[in-house]
Amino acid sequence: MYYAGKKAPFAKTAVVDNFVFCSGFSGQTIETFHVDSANVAEQTMVSLNKLRSALEEAGSSMDNIFKTVTYVKHMEDYPAILATQHKYYKKYAPRLLAEPPVDTLVQIPALHEPDMLVEVEATAVISRDKPGLKVKTYPIYYAGKKAPFSQSAVVGNFVFCSAFGGLSTETGSVASDAVEDQVVTILETIRDAVEEAGSSMNNIFKTVLYLKDPGLQPIVRKTEIAWYQKHFPRLVEAPPASVISTAVSLREPTMQVQYEAMAVIDRDAPDWKMIKCPMYYAGKKVYFAKYAVVGDIVFNSGFSGQTVETFHVDSDNVGDQTIVSLNKVRSALEQAGSSMDNIFKTVTYVKHMEDYPAILATQQEYYKKYAPRLLAEPPTDTLIQIVALHEPDMLVEIETTAVISR
């Protein structure tokens, strides 16, 4: 990826088999590496132009997008973003109007630059009809109206769900302010989604959670575990890999929590078998997996500056925390039979955007020692600032996806 004629420290896309994983694209222009307009619709157009160009260069097209994550600085901008997106799809990707991708919508404090208002991360396929990796989307309706995103997208043996946030499909609104009720509604919606797609809750291998308040995490996890214990005890014994952070706001103002889930249809499918590895902190098994392997792809949990020995952050230096995070990434990948050199996608969550230069410098030094290939062929990356991570002292969390063999 090049901005203003200089190679960026992240890739535009990463192609893995039939999949195309894209970096997050914002309103920064290719020519200047800056945002040239304060208008959110114009920034959305710039983002979509870069996304279309990246997919076409990878041998795909906008019509082949099956998953998006939309980060906004102001939730009130979303109607304009959605309208711009629909207008763009009508011209360049008409199939997405009838079969929209699954989507996660999150309001965050800031993107890479203060003037950025929107960033879109997308995942697509080269071909929607490739044997063994065909795409099928399932719509979702709220209060009888079709949502502008799909309930789930099946790609071969994979099931990707939209992020659900406690909305009742019957009423189209959040029925309860109680976080426990919202978690149960979310889990029931995910269950219905994966079952309609031909899978089961027991086959979930990764979740991404966004909270509206960091203090909600204990009750969210407690409610989740209790529900799993009652309905799907296998997930208590072998939980999915997971990432959890705090956003400013979610899709609806009264949502307290939002879940995105990924599953497989068949845990033992040839070439796409699923394996999950438990995670231990301070000698105790925690309620998320270290990683999940599906076929040749390794999906790691998000790793922060918490040390494995203490389950706490032992340094307030962002460089030190980045090294702890990367050490855990490397350990997980090597245990899975992979290596740092095989990372093709990262998501970097930061508490303070001004820390990013130090994080990037530390990451580059680490790659130089343990993953030199990533200096020449960096992974895709989405950089976002969040309100908080698991502990108040956490400054950075890195989520990675890799292959066993390149």
* Main-chain dihedrals φ then ψ at residue 188, nearest 5 degrees: -65, -35
Query: Cβ-count burial of 115 within 10 angstroms (0-12 exposed, 13-18 middle, 19+ buried)?
Result: middle
Predicted local confidence at residue 1, as pLDDT: 80
Q: Identify which of 215, 193, 347 has the alpha carbon closest to the alpha carbon of residue 259.
A: 193
Overall fold of domain 157-295: 60s Ribosomal Protein L30; Chain: A; (3.30.1330)
Name the helix (H) or strand (E) containing 281.
Answer: strand 274-281
In tens digits, what is the pLDDT along the chain, a chain of 406 residues? 887 788 888 999 999 999 999 999 999 998 888 899 999 999 999 999 999 999 999 999 999 999 999 999 999 999 999 999 999 999 999 999 999 999 999 999 998 888 999 999 999 999 999 999 999 999 999 999 999 999 999 999 999 999 999 999 999 999 899 999 999 999 999 999 999 999 999 999 999 999 999 999 999 999 999 999 999 999 999 999 999 999 999 999 999 999 999 999 999 998 899 999 999 999 999 999 999 999 999 999 999 999 999 989 999 999 999 999 999 999 999 999 999 999 999 999 999 999 999 999 999 999 999 999 999 999 999 999 999 888 889 999 999 999 999 8
The tokens describing 21, both together, are 């994983």
Q: Virtual CA dihedral for 135, 67, 305, 307, nearest 10 degrees?
A: -30
The structure tokens 């959305």 sit at: 44
Q: Would you tell me the crossing angle of helices 356-370 and 318-335 to the nearest 10 degrees?
A: 40
Delimiting residues of CATH 3.30.1330.40 domain(s) in the chain: 1-131, 157-295, 300-406
Residue 158 has which token pair? 């994979």
248: three-class secondary structure by DSSP:
coil
Identify the helix (H) or strand (E) that includes residue 191.
helix 179-196
CA distance linking residue 208 with residue 259, whole number of Å? 6
* Closest listed residue to residue 358, CA positions, set 400, 305, 320: 320
How confident is the model at residue 175, as a pLDDT? 83
Instruction: Assign 3-state DSSP to the chain and report helix, strand, coil percentages, each to 5.
Output: 30, 35, 35
Decide which of 1.10.10.10, 3.30.1330.40, 3.40.50.1820, 3.40.50.300 is the CATH code for 1-131. Answer: 3.30.1330.40
Among residues 78, 64, 258, the alpha carbon closest in space to that of 153 is found at 64
The predicted pLDDT at position 280 comes to 95
- Which residues lie closer than 8 Å to 303 by C-beta, 6 or more apart? 325, 326, 328, 329, 332, 397, 398, 399, 400
| C-alpha span between 66 and 375 (Å, rounded) | 29
For domain 300-406, give the CATH superfamily.
RutC-like (3.30.1330.40)
Q: What is the pLDDT of residue 113?
A: 87
> How many angstroms separate the most distant Cα atoms in the chain?
56
Task: Write out the two tokens for 385.
Answer: 């600032």
Query: Would you say 66 and 135 are in contact if contact means Cβ atoms under 8 Å apart?
Result: yes
Indicate whether this model's pTM tops 0.85. yes
Report which of 201, 221, 225, 226 is spatially closest to residue 211, judged by C-alpha positions.
Answer: 221
Angular region, 325: left φ>0, alpha ψ -120 to 50, beta rest: alpha
Kind of pairing between the strands at 241-246 and 204-211? parallel
Q: What is the pLDDT of residue 162?
A: 98
Rounded Cα gap, residues 352 and 110, in angstroms: 9
For the chain, give the number of residues: 406
